Chains A and B, each alone.
Chain A
Amino acid sequence: MKRIVTILITSAVIAGLAAGAALADKILLINGAGATFPYPLYSKWFYEYTKVDPEVNFNYQSIGSGGGIRQITAQTVDFGASDGALTDEQLKQAPGELLHIPMTAGAVVITYNIPGINEKLKLAPDAIAGIFLGRIKKWNDPIIAKDNMEINLPDQNIIVAHRSDGSGTTNIFTDYLSSVSSIWKAKVGKGTSVNWPVGLGQKGNEGVAGLVKQTPCAIGYVELAYAVKNNLQFGDIQNKSGDFIMPSIESTTAAVNGKVNSMPVDFRVSLVNPDGKDAYPIAGVTWILVYKHQADKVKGKKIIEFLRWAVTDGQKYSADLLYAPLPKSMVDKIEERINEIYY
């Protein structure tokens, strides 16, 4: 009896293993690495996509844009992901032609903590640049006060908080500062990490938000998604046409719309300071990086299918996760670009 049971169990286990192996044989694993900012959306996509195509499985390591660029250049992954566009020099280092495929857009908000003030601040570009350059030192400075006449701003020192870890959020924010302030552009510039003229560095959105929340008179910048989820107070920002715009998914998509006509063919676009009355000015896109020539036929085909799905059907998952869906006009252009990939 005991022996029969043993045999039964053993054969069941073997059959199970064999079935698993057969299934694993069929499933194609596609590896990617890079940006952390779009990771929640990407993992949602990878999960939903298994319902569209059960034969593909994605493995994505959110190690940061820098790591993503290095790995796709070294061809250790099938696709990379980055919050910042590659420079011409970086593109030249890659062994083949790398394409930037925009996936989604995000915004950066300015959060602050001024004791006793619950009204929304209105911030003009010169005020933001002045604060982060360290030229505006007090909250009641006339440059801030001129747009906030109804608020009684305190005569207190401003404490600036910024990200200490290299991040796409910093890239978007410093890109914005460079576009609105020539002094910032010359003195500091844009990048995932910069030489900040003033302020305290904190790790991650949570670090900056934490410092701002418990330091009176502090100001900092965080991702829109993080700020909304954590009920942070954030200001309306004056855009190119002079309107003060509240950061939201809609105003971020409006920012993408404002750039569609002037978009470079390789999609290495900066979204900051776009045209459009309702466009929020501190926004950016995030890209997936793939080689135009896919060496592996089977994988290449599956990657193209996935990218096409992500920029069309996949966009409906963006808003729930507080990413801004790409407008139709841009999706059309991206699909053309995806069609250029060959194997």
Chain B
Amino acid sequence: MRIKFVDLGFKKAVTLMALGVTALACLLVYNMAVYAIPAIHKFGPRFLFTSTWDPVKEIFGALPFIYGTIVSSMLALIIAVPVSLGIAVYLAELAPLKIRQPLSFMIELLAAIPSVVYGLWGIFVLAPFLRNFIQPFLSKYFGFLPIFQGEFYGVGMLTAGIILSIMIIPTISSISREVFLTVPFTQREVASALGATRWEAIRLGVLGYARPGVLGAVILGLGRALGETMAVTMVIGNRPEASVSLFAPSYTMASVIANEFTEATGNLYLSALIEIGLILFFVTLLLNIAARALIWKVSNKVKTV
């Protein structure tokens, strides 16, 4: 009788926790929507497709921020995913047993560094380095590509993408490593028994099997990249312009909210900033759904093979 009572209480408690957080998210969206109404009313869908951001004349368009957020996060993934997978494979499969623990501990430590420190390092070390060495190099040899054209400022989209990638590498690599470790050992043995080399055994036996888990790790990394504010705002140049070149300054949704919210005085101005928060929420939601659909597709494929 007593056990049944405890059981019931436990069930109620965990249900409450799960529903509570969901309810909080719903309330958050509801609240943002309420405060965003003046801007939604004034600008309608135009808000999403225009690029003027003029707090003085109260004309607001969010396109450069949406563009900046998506491009900087994607750039971060393009850099971080291969590196993280390399780290994870090395730590799970190849590294001498002695250094596995200390090395993975140090990589996870990167995740504990406050983002403002990354930002400072970005301004004072990374940006001058990119301006003096990397950007001239890219422009000289790959300057025919529109993404590597324009003046070298140091700060800009490229710098933001690199900083973000460093920030999400620990997340993606440590989760991927855990996933690789859960792959049954027989997978590798079978591949080796069939005459596969080390690389083939990892590719066929481990990477294929671990794909859904790795995608989950990538989603977590993407989530961090989309929402990162401080480090990005310090190195992206904060210019509301959607430009093709990665050298050009850009702006993200999280950054503009952090930058302008405290001093936003007009009602419409405040409302436009809150609407950006709402858009950021939905962009994150959509990208998550897309990634989940991808996992679902991939994991189905794994089962049928």
Contacts and interface: CB of A to CB of B under 8 A. Distances in A.
Given A166-B260, A166-B264, A193-B263, A200 B249 contact: yes
B123 interface: yes
Contacts of B55: 166, 191-195
A167 interface: yes
Contact of A189 (B56, B240, B255): B56
Contacts of A211: 123, 155
A207 B249 CA distance: 15
A256 interface: no
A339 interface: no
A194 B54 contact: yes
Contact of B56 (A69, A188, A199): A188
Interface in B41-69: 52-57
Given A188-B56, A207-B123, A164 B233 contact: yes
Interface string A180-214: 00000000111111111001111100010011001
Interface in A214-228: 214-215
Interface string B111-123: 0000000000001
Interface in B213-270: 233-234, 237-240, 249, 251, 255, 258-265, 270
A67 interface: yes
A9 interface: no
B262 A166 contact: yes
Contacts of A190: 56
B239 A201 contact: yes
A200 B260 contact: no
Nearest to A170: B263
B205 interface: no
A244 B97 CA distance: 70
Interface size class of A (residues with CB under 8 A): 35 or more
Nearest to A164: B238
Contacts of A70: 265
A314 interface: no
A200 B131 CA distance: 14
B263 A192 contact: yes
Contact of B264 (A66, A189, A194): A66
B38 interface: no
A67 B249 CA distance: 28
A188 B56 CA distance: 7
Nearest to B230: A203
Contacts of A311: none
Contacts of A247: none
B56 A201 contact: no
A90 B265 contact: yes
A65 B263 contact: yes
Interface string B76-120: 000000000000000000000000000000000000000000000
Contact of B260 (A69, A193, A210): A193
A72 to B, nearest CB: 12
Nearest to A189: B56
Contacts of A196: 239
A207 B234 contact: yes
Interface size class of B (residues with CB under 8 A): 20 to 34
Contact of A200 (B53, B155, B262): B155
A165 B263 contact: yes
A155 B230 CA distance: 35
Contacts of A200: 153, 155, 237-239, 249
Contacts of A84: 265
Nearest to A157: B151
A192 B265 CA distance: 9
A15 to B, nearest CB: 43
B124 interface: yes
B127 interface: yes
Interface in A236-278: none
Given A157-B151, A188-B56, A193-B55, A202 B262 contact: no
B238 A214 contact: no
Interface string A143-176: 0000000000000010100001111100000000
Nearest to B127: A214
A77 B123 CA distance: 37
A201 B234 contact: no
Contact of A201 (B131, B249, B263, B265): B249
A132 to B, nearest CB: 14
B222 to A, nearest CB: 24
Contacts of B127: 214
B262 A66 contact: yes
Contact of A165 (B124, B151, B153, B259): B259
B170 interface: no
A194 B57 CA distance: 9
Nearest to B264: A66
Contacts of B238: 164, 200-203
A166 B237 contact: no
Contacts of B240: 195
A117 interface: no
A64 B260 CA distance: 10
B122 to A, nearest CB: 10
A195 B54 contact: yes
B78 to A, nearest CB: 24
Given A190-B56, A195-B53, A165 B262 contact: yes
22 contacts: A64-B263, A157-B151, A164-B233, A165-B259, A165-B263, A166-B259, A166-B263, A168-B263, A190-B56, A191-B55, A191-B56, A192-B55, A192-B264, A194-B54, A195-B53, A195-B55, A195-B240, A196-B239, A200-B237, A201-B251, A210-B123, A215-B131
Given A165-B259, A201-B237, 10 more contacts: A63-B262, A69-B265, A166-B261, A166-B262, A190-B56, A192-B55, A194-B56, A196-B239, A201-B238, A215-B153
Smallest CB-CB A-B distances: 7 pairs: A166-B263, A201-B238, A64-B262, A164-B238, A189-B56, A195-B54, A192-B263
